[in-house]
Amino acid sequence: MSSPQDPTDLSQLAKDGVISSALGSSAAVARALLSPNPVGFFWMIRSAFSAAIVAVLVGLAITDYVQSYTLRLAVAGLAGFAAPEVTTFVLAYLSKWFDKKLNEVKSNAKPRSKKRR
């Protein structure tokens, strides 16, 4: 029976990073190709960045609570998987909220009086 690998081994971390990046990238491409809605390049970039940021933050947050290294990776991956939809929802919500506030300000503004020359 082999002993578990040390997660702080840099060569193993680099190898795991390359493999997980390849798997994540292929999953993102498959997700975009199978999507019923057309997606653009910038949507894919935004999704990749939001998934990466969320996965890292969740991974750091659960370090003290989940002892199993593979379970931590799974939880971070699942959170990263849901991140693009959450990001789209939050951006749409903020856009509606800012439009509502802007319309309130515009309706309360005094009309500009024309200056005489």
Question: pLDDT above 90 covers what percent of the chain?
Answer: 8
- Residue 96 confidence (pLDDT) above 90: yes
The pLDDT assigned to 88 comes to 82
Asked if residue 47 is part of any domain, the answer here is: yes
- Residue 14 confidence (pLDDT) above 60: yes
The whole-model pTM stands at: 0.56
The domain tally of the chain equals 1
Q: What angle do CA 79, 81, 87 make, to 5 degrees?
A: 85
Asked if residue 45 is part of any domain, the answer here is: yes
Its domain, for residue 47, covers 40-106
How far apart are the C-alpha atoms of 40 and 38, rounded to whole Å?
7
